[in-house]
């Protein structure tokens, strides 16, 4: 029983070290590869990753903005926003949506 | 396997210390690989604590009494399901449950935010690992759940009979999930302050977790109330007990936050207030955990481990100090983008709602900690009781219900007379109608209860109106049929309409509380078989005594060695309503020194309540048989002197037979309460509404195509 416990503990420690150390190993490997061959690949990859991340963020922001536009319309139609306030809020939200769509469009064009 | 469990704790502590260092190093030095490694430390912590938890759970299920925790809180006679839940009935096991749940929820939060706000998340994961490390360190240094004794005792003490109740199996995991989930917004809030990224992103990231914390905490509180009502022999569901109050306080500040964050999202206001509420809720959840564990205040729920007081006070002090420092030093970044335009606006009503909720929290805080405060100032410990709490909380609760009716329908920025007339006609009409009906029915003896019922009608009127108008608006916008528009409305605006359903649940619950506390009939008296008494409009007759011997025949399935009870016939206007069979269970004390027979029934005696529930009223009964009568005592004494451990149950058979043939007059506690069922039904509605509000929508289904097209078309206007 004691041996089984020792084996379990060793396996567990090994698994934790391997899992937690994963990102450090990957970064180290990339550094070694870059130093050996002067490959700019990781940089390009990092740039692509950043673009992907930004795209995701913008798409989420676009969905959220659409939801806000719809929310404001619902508030207006159920009497919680005056016509004047609704027009202002709606115009502001649509302008913000336009900015998001512009940036999204630009990123997509650059990626294509 | 205890060695494996303890090794897991050591490994978990190491992982926490490393993860904190890696996360902070990663974010301060711009090394994302270290931040990623820190995030993986949280996942690893969850994995390692899962192994530790499984080891302890298996020990309970296998009756491995070599584990001190198992021997102290379980036994072979403890039914299997209760044995499985006995893990968290001890101080040590409950600390492990806390740490494990925290690691699981933290992992989920970090996984969902792994591609966003990396700097904020790095600080947040360091704080989460700090909490994890704190609780694991408590287990390693003060309360080790894997401590063993050799040779192992042949039998354990058994689970506290009071905890052998179905809701008690899920009450602690629910409550702990609520507490641990409260630390996630706190970690992200502190992370945002540390990273100086105080835009709306962090609020969006933690919104769902704040709601989940609120929901779990609420369900946990309600399950605790249900346990108190159905298991404890006093017939109440809320006793303003210190531990009950400790769980209510973060729930109240969490409720305030869920409302005020809408103001920040819509108007960019209340930023200091919101971040303070998040930090306060997290800190109060740690204080709640501390109250249960420190034993500084008397409570039926507390573990009473005085050794844990100093570490907890240190942690709470650190949290309060860090919160104040961070908010003060970042106050320039937390400026409001807008001001209140009018006192008659949704923003003002939400702010008032927040002040009432925080006021309630302060009252409960003061009442709960009053024994400590009074001792600090006068040297004498004195406590406040239910009447003190009621004096302040009842008016505040009434104001809160009123505001929860006004909030959803009042206009943003500024309400006009025309707007008020349009939005408040139906709710006010509902309240007036309720007033007329209730006064007509003669419900005038309790004005505060009457006011609560009318306010509830007001809230139901606002929710009904909102659903109706929303469906009409949706029909106009999307051209759907009314039922389809209603379903689509709720489905596509889950947070808003889920929230309204929660409001309905809360007022149903408040109506139940107001009715059952104001119009209940109670009677405590001694009856002999054949005697009757009147409770409210019900006649209750003690028909005959009942008894069971040995855990096998215990009707309550709690493993009692002896159970003495009564059969009660309940009638109304001469018609049979129900038969109730309350009983009192006696349990093995596990202490042979008491005597062979005495030890079989020497454990804590627990009342098994019998009740007949309905939507309009509950008939509740509990019994306290006198086991100390000369006849019964003689049987026990003779048994102690003449019978060995194996034959001792024979004496209990004689005792039960004597109780059945010559039943002594018995003490009964009888209660008839109206609308208690509304409390549990209200809780269920809150739960359903909460689930609707919290449920994520599939990404592509979030905005209908037609709406996208219209929004884009409309851009030309701006």
Q: What is the CA radius of gyration of chain B?
A: 28
Q: Which residues contact B161 (CB under 8 A, 6 or more apart)?
A: B558, B559, B560, B585, B587, B603, B604, B606
Interface of B with A in 196-215 (CB under 8 A): 204
How many Å apart are CA B546 and CA B553, to the nearest integer? 12
Are B571 and B577 contacting, i.e. CB atoms less than 8 angstroms apart?
A: yes
Interface of B with A in 451-470 (CB under 8 A): 466, 469-470
| B8 inside 8 A of chain A by CB | yes
**Bridge partner list, B610:** B621
| B526 inside 8 A of chain A by CB | no
How many Å apart are CA B569 and CA B174, to the nearest integer? 37
Q: Which residues contact B646 (CB under 8 A, 6 or more apart)?
A: none
Summarised one tens digit per residue, pLDDT across range A2-49 is: 888 899 999 999 999 999 999 999 988 888 888 887 655 555 555 666
Name the residue with higher pLDDT: A51 or B39: B39
CA distances from B504 to B461, B467, B495, B682 (A): 10, 12, 14, 8
Are B265 and B392 contacting, i.e. CB atoms less than 8 angstroms apart?
A: no
Summarised one tens digit per residue, pLDDT across range B234-280 is: 889 999 988 889 999 999 999 999 999 888 887 788 889 999 999 99
Nearest of B369, B668, B682 to residue B512 by alpha carbon:
B682
Contact A90 B714 (CB under 8 A): yes
Torsion of CA B491, B493, B498, B499, to 10 degrees: -170
Are B623 and B668 contacting, i.e. CB atoms less than 8 angstroms apart?
A: yes
Are B410 and B343 contacting, i.e. CB atoms less than 8 angstroms apart?
A: no
> What one-character-per-residue DSSP string does B32-85 give?
HHHHHHHHHHHHHHHHHHHHHHHHHHHHHHTT-TTBHHHHHH--TTS-HHHHHH
Alpha helices in B268-385 (DSSP H): 271-294, 309-329, 346-378
How many Å apart are CA B194 and CA B585, to the nearest integer? 55
Are B595 and B640 contacting, i.e. CB atoms less than 8 angstroms apart?
A: yes
Summarised one tens digit per residue, pLDDT across range B148-160 is: 998 989 888 888 8
Torsion of CA B389, B270, A78, B481, to 10 degrees: -90
How many Å apart are CA B642 and CA B500, to the nearest integer? 68
Torsion of CA B183, B184, B190, B193, to 10 degrees: -150
**Bridge partner list, B309:** none
Question: Residue written as tokens 């573990």?
Answer: B303
Contact A12 B7 (CB under 8 A): yes
How many Å apart are CA B567 and CA B561, to the nearest integer? 20
| A37 inside 8 A of chain B by CB | no
- Tokens encoding B355: 């002040």
How many Å apart are CA B605 and CA B589, to the nearest integer? 10
Question: Residue written as tokens 């309940």?
Answer: B570
Q: Which residues contact B601 (CB under 8 A, 6 or more apart)?
A: B561, B562, B586, B587, B588, B589, B627, B636, B652
DSSP B665: P
- Tokens encoding B408: 């959803």
- By DSSP bridging, strand B583-586 and strand B562-572 are antiparallel
Residue of B nearest to A8 (CA): B4
Cβ neighbour number for residue B375 with a 10 Å cutoff: 12
Interface probe for B, chosen from A8, A12, A18, A23 (most Cβ of B below 10 Å), is A23
Average pLDDT in the A94-105 region?
Answer: 89
Query: Coil, strand, or helix at residue B621?
Result: strand
Confidence (pLDDT) at B594: 86
Contact A80 B477 (CB under 8 A): no
How many Å apart are CA B552 and CA B559, to the nearest integer? 7
Contact A77 B711 (CB under 8 A): no
- Tokens encoding B397: 């609760």
Query: Coil, strand, or helix at residue B342?
Result: coil
Contact A12 B51 (CB under 8 A): yes
B307: left (phi over 0), alpha (psi -120 to 50) or beta: alpha
Adjacency order of strands within the sheet including B666-674: B521-527, B666-674, B617-624, B610-613
> What one-character-per-residue DSSP string does B451-484 give?
HHHHHHHHHHHHHHHHHHHHHHHHHHHH---HHH
Nearest of B495, B485, B552 to residue B704 by alpha carbon:
B485
User: B242-267 and B166-195 helices cross at what angle (nearest 10)?
Assistant: 40
Question: What sign has the CA pseudo-torsion B86, B87, B92, B98?
Answer: negative
Confidence (pLDDT) at A46: 58
| A46 inside 8 A of chain B by CB | no
Contact A80 B411 (CB under 8 A): yes
How many Å apart are CA B452 and CA B682, to the nearest integer? 15
| A10 inside 8 A of chain B by CB | no
Nearest of B300, B233, B161 to residue B624 by alpha carbon:
B233
Minimum-distance CB partner of A82 among B34, B44, B411: B411
DSSP B148: B
Are B110 and B125 contacting, i.e. CB atoms less than 8 angstroms apart?
A: yes
B648: left (phi over 0), alpha (psi -120 to 50) or beta: alpha
* A66 CA: distance to closest CA in chain B (Å): 7
CA distances from B251 to A91, B243, B260, B695, B714 (A): 38, 13, 14, 20, 42
* B3 CA: distance to closest CA in chain A (Å): 7
Cβ neighbour number for residue A10 with a 10 Å cutoff: 11
> What one-character-per-residue DSSP string does B515-583 give?
HHHHS-EEEEEEE-TT-EEEETTEEEEEEEEEEEESGGG-TT-S--SEEEEEEEEEEETTEEEEEE--E
Query: Coil, strand, or helix at residue B119?
Result: helix
Are B125 and B25 contacting, i.e. CB atoms less than 8 angstroms apart?
A: no
Contact A16 B717 (CB under 8 A): no
Does pTM top 0.95 for this prediction? no
Q: Using 70 as the pLDDT threshold, list the residues of chain B that sit under it.
A: 293-307, 697-718
Query: Coil, strand, or helix at residue B590?
Result: coil
How many Å apart are CA B482 and CA B294, to the nearest integer? 56
Q: What is the CA radius of gyration of chain A?
A: 25
- Tokens encoding B512: 């139940």
**Bridge partner list, B621:** B610, B670
- Tokens encoding B70: 């198992």
Query: Coil, strand, or helix at residue B624?
Result: strand
Confidence (pLDDT) at B547: 92
- Tokens encoding B129: 């690992």
DSSP B327: H
How many Å apart are CA B648 and CA B600, to the nearest integer? 8
Contact B115 A81 (CB under 8 A): no
Are B248 and B292 contacting, i.e. CB atoms less than 8 angstroms apart?
A: no
Nearest of A54, A105, A92, A62 to residue B703 by alpha carbon:
A62
Contact A94 B715 (CB under 8 A): yes
| B413 inside 8 A of chain A by CB | yes
| A96 inside 8 A of chain B by CB | no
Question: Residue written as tokens 């239910």?
Answer: B386
**Bridge partner list, B549:** B562
Alpha carbon distance, N-terminus to C-terminus of chain B: 69
């Amino acid at each position: 029983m004691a041996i089984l416990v020792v084996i379990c503990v060793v396996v567990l420690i090994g698994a934790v070290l391997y899992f937690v150390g994963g990102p450090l190993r990957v970064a180290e490997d990339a550094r070694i590869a870059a130093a050996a061959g002067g490959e700019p690949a990781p940089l390009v990859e990092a740039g692509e990753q950043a673009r992907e991340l930004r795209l995701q963020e913008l798409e989420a922001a676009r969905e959220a903005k659409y939801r806000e536009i719809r929310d404001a319309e619902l508030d207006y139609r159920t009497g919680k926003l005056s016509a004047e306030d609704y027009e202002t809020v709606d115009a502001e939200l649509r302008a913000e949506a336009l900015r998001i769509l512009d940036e999204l469009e630009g990123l997509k064009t650059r990626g294509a | 396997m205890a060695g494996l469990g303890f090794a897991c704790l050591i490994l978990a502590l190491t992982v926490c210390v490393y993860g904190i260092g890696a996360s902070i190093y990663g974010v301060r030095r711009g090394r994302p690989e270290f931040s990623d490694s820190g995030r993986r430390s949280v996942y690893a912590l969850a994995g390692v604590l899962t192994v530790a938890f499984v080891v302890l759970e298996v020990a309970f299920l296998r009756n491995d009494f070599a584990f001190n925790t198992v021997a102290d809180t379980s036994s072979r006679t403890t039914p299997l399901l209760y044995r499985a839940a006995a893990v968290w009935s001890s101080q040590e096991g409950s600390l492990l449950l806390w740490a494990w749940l925290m690691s699981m929820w933290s992992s989920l939060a970090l996984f969902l935010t792994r591609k966003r706000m990396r700097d904020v998340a790095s600080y947040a994961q360091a704080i989460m690992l700090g909490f994890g490390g704190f609780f694991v360190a408590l287990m390693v240094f003060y309360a080790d759940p894997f401590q063993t004794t050799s040779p192992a005792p042949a039998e354990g003490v058994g689970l506290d009979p009071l905890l052998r109740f179905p809701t008690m199996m899920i009450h602690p995991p629910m409550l702990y999930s609520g507490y641990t989930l409260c630390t996630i917004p706190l970690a992200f809030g502190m992370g945002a302050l540390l990273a100086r990224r105080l835009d709306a992103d962090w609020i969006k990231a933690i919104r769902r977790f704040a709601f989940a914390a609120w929901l779990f905490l609420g369900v946990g509180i309600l399950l605790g109330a249900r346990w108190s009502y159905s298991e404890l022999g006093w017939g109440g569901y809320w006793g303003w007990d210190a531990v009950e109050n400790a769980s209510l306080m973060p729930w109240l500040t969490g409720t305030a936050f869920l409302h005020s964050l809408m103001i920040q999202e819509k108007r960019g206001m209340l930023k200091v207030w919101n971040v303070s509420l998040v930090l306060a809720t997290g800190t109060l959840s740690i204080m709640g955990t501390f109250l249960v564990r420190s034993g500084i205040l008397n409570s039926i729920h507390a573990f009473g481990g005085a050794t844990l007081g100093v570490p907890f006070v240190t942690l709470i002090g650190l949290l309060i100090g860090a919160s104040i420092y961070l908010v003060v030093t970042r106050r320039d970044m937390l400026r409001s983008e807008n001001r209140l335009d009018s006192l008659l606006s949704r923003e003002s009503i939400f702010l008032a709602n927040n002040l009432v909720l925080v006021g309630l929290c302060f009252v409960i805080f003061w009442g709960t900690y009053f024994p400590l405060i009074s001792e600090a100032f006068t040297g004498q410990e004195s406590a406040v009781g239910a009447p003190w709490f009621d004096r302040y909380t009842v008016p505040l609760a009434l104001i809160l219900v009123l505001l929860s009716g006004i909030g959803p329908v009042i206009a943003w920025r500024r309400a006009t007379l025309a707007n008020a007339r349009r939005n408040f006609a139906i709710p006010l009409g509902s309240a007036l109608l309720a007033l007329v009906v209730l006064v007509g029915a003669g419900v005038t003896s309790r004005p505060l209860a009457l006011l609560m019922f009318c306010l509830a009608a007001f809230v139901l009127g606002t929710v009904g109106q909102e659903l109706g108008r929303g469906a009409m608006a949706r029909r106009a916008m999307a051209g759907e049929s009314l039922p389809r528009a209603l379903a689509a409305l709720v489905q596509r605006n889950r947070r808003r309409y889920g929230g309204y359903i929660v409001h309905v649940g809360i007022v149903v619950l408040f109506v139940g509380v107001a009715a059952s506390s104001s119009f209940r009939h109670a009677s405590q008296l001694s009856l002999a078989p054949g005697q009757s008494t009147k409770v409210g409009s019900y006649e209750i007759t003690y028909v005959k005594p009942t008894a069971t011997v040995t855990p096998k025949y215990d009707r309550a399935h709690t493993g009692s060695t002896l159970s003495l009870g009564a059969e009660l016939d309940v009638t109304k206007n001469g018609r049979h309503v129900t038969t109730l069979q309350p009983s009192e269970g006696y349990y093995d004390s596990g202490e042979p020194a008491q005597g062979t027979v005495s030890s079989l029934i020497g454990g804590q005696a627990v009342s098994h309540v019998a009740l007949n529930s309905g939507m309009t009223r509950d008939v509740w009964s509990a019994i306290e048989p006198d086991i100390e009568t000369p006849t019964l005592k003689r049987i026990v004494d003779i048994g102690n002197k003449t019978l060995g451990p194996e034959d001792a149950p024979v004496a209990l058979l004689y005792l039960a037979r004597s109780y059945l043939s010559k039943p002594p007059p018995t003490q009964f506690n009888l209660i008839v309460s109206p609308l208690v069922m509304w409390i549990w039904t209200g809780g269920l509605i809150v739960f359903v509404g909460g689930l609707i509000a919290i449920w994520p929508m599939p990404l592509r289904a979030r905005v209908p195509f037609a709406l996208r097209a219209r929004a884009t078309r409309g851009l030309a206007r701006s």
